[in-house]
């Protein structure tokens, strides 16, 4: 399965359970890092990675070029690099450091002077120091030093990026564990995580708000809804308004005492709870639920004319068709997850067939025949 590209690579809850279903946590982390590198083909990690290879190849070339029969010339260059750093960067740092007393200040400079003296001595007595070809070696050596510094910087940037994906993965596992999507089994070596029934369900849900979707299902929020009510509420998971996020529909079909409005209230409450959990786990904020298409999808599935429906909205026909298709996809996932729904306590046994009916209601007219 190809995961959708977002503006940044953030592993989703669904991705985590899919990885853990077939591998242990360590392997999953490695896989994630690899898919992260793939994703970054357009962005920078691949570029950083290529640059690292280039620099490593160049360094090897310089090492051959400055090969010295007296000793390890690269080691000699490292001494020079350290010496230069001590003489310039570290001294400058000390000059800007605040000391409590003059004695402390003097001691710090004295310590640095000792380091410099030792490095000088090591450089002076290095086997390569007396080589007759030293100037020729150094011509290559300067390139080697410059690219060696760049390699260190690039490597650090690369590792801080890839490492953050693995960290996010660990935080996701914490949340999944606390919500009973994962079970842990202690073995002698490391902790082994298993998917629960809920975890198996989550594996089949592909949506930016996958965890909210799964939680809503498992908490029975969608129990006993009609197909029309179900699709109206689920539109909040796929709708993206053109205006500011978090908008409301023009009306809630069924009014404030109806099933849709009450389901929406429960979804909002669940969303707040899940968001808080994600924030506590240092995960990126969830995209908000958007209820702006609740009435639009309801009316369409109920057979109304599209031009009439969109008259007082900021949606275009193209927007509408795309969103309706995404909603059908979501309902189809729910239908396809039927066998997993059966094994979760408290979930309506008819939810899967209800989703199937709902998808059929939406899939008519322009939605059925357009190819967007
Ligand atoms: Zn030499």
CA–centroid distance, residue 70 to ligand 1 (Å): 6
Q: 304 lies in a domain?
A: yes
Per DSSP, 86 falls in state I
CA–centroid distance, residue 327 to ligand 1 (Å): 71
CA–centroid distance, residue 51 to ligand 1 (Å): 29
Q: 350 lies in a domain?
A: yes
Q: ipTM, 2 decimals?
A: 0.96
Q: 18 lies in a domain?
A: no
Sign of CA dihedral 257, 261, 262, 265: negative
Say how many residues make up the chain.
Answer: 372
Strand blocks (E) in 61-190: 182-186
CA–centroid distance, residue 69 to ligand 1 (Å): 5
Beta bridge partners of 184: 193
Q: 305 lies in a domain?
A: yes
Q: 125 lies in a domain?
A: no
3-state secondary structure of 20: helix
Report the interhelical angle of 259-280 vs 294-301 (nearest 10°).
140
Integer Cα distance of 293 and 270 in angstroms: 19
CA–centroid distance, residue 71 to ligand 1 (Å): 7
CA–centroid distance, residue 144 to ligand 1 (Å): 15
Question: Domain of 249?
Answer: 204-369
* Separation of CA 118 from chain center: 47
Number of domains in the chain: 1
Domain of residue 358, CATH code: 1.10.3380.30
**pLDDT by 10s per residue, the chain, length 372:** 344 444 455 678 888 888 888 777 778 777 777 666 555 544 667 778 888 999 999 999 999 999 999 999 999 999 998 998 888 888 888 888 878 888 888 988 999 999 999 999 999 999 999 999 999 999 999 999 999 989 988 888 777 666 667 778 888 999 999 999 998 876 655 667 889 999 999 999 999 999 999 999 999 999 999 999 999 999 999 998 877 666 789 999 999 999 999 999 999 999 999 999 998 888 888 989 999 999 999 999 999 999 999 988 888 889 999 999 999 999 999 999 999 999 899 999 999 999 999 999 999 999 999 876
């Amino acid at each position: 399965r190809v995961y959708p590209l977002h503006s940044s690579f953030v592993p989703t809850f669904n991705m985590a359970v899919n990885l853990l279903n077939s591998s242990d946590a360590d392997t999953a982390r490695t896989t994630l890092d690899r898919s992260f590198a793939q994703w970054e083909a357009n962005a920078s990690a691949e570029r950083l990675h290529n640059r690292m290879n280039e620099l490593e190849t160049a360094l090897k070339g310089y090492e051959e070029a400055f090969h010295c029969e007296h000793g390890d010339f690269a080691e000699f260059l490292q001494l020079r690099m350290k010496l230069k750093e001590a003489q310039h960067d570290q001294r400058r740092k000390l000059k800007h450091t605040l000391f409590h007393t003059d004695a402390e200040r003097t001691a710090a400079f004295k310590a640095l002077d000792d380091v410099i003296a030792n490095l000088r001595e090591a450089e002076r007595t290095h086997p390569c120091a007396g080589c007759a070809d030293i100037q020729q070696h150094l011509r290559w050596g300067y390139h080697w030093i410059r690219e060696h510094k760049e390699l260190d910087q690039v490597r650090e940037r690369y590792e801080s990026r890839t490492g953050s994906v693995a960290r996010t993965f660990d935080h996701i596992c914490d949340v999944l564990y606390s919500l009973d999507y994962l079970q842990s089994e202690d073995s002698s070596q490391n902790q082994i995580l298993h998917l629960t029934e809920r975890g198996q369900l989550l594996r089949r849900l592909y949506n930016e708000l996958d965890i909210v979707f799964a939680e809503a299902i498992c908490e029975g929020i969608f129990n006993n809804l009609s197909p029309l009510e179900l699709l109206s509420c689920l539109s909040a998971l796929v709708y993206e308004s053109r205006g500011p996020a978090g908008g409301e529909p023009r009306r809630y079909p069924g009014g404030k005492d109806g099933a849709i409005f009450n389901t929406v209230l429960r979804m909002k409450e669940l969303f707040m709870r899940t968001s808080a959990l994600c924030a506590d786990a240092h995960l990126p904020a969830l995209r908000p639920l958007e209820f702006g298409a609740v009435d639009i999808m309801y009316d369409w599935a109920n057979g109304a004319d599209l031009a009439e429906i969109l008259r007082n909205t900021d949606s275009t026909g193209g927007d509408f068709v795309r969103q309706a298709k995404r909603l059908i996809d979501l309902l189809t996932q729910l239908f396809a997850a039927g066998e997993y729904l059966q094994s979760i306590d408290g979930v309506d046994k008819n939810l899967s067939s209800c989703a199937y009916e709902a998808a059929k209601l939406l899939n008519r007219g322009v939605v059925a025949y357009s190819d967007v």
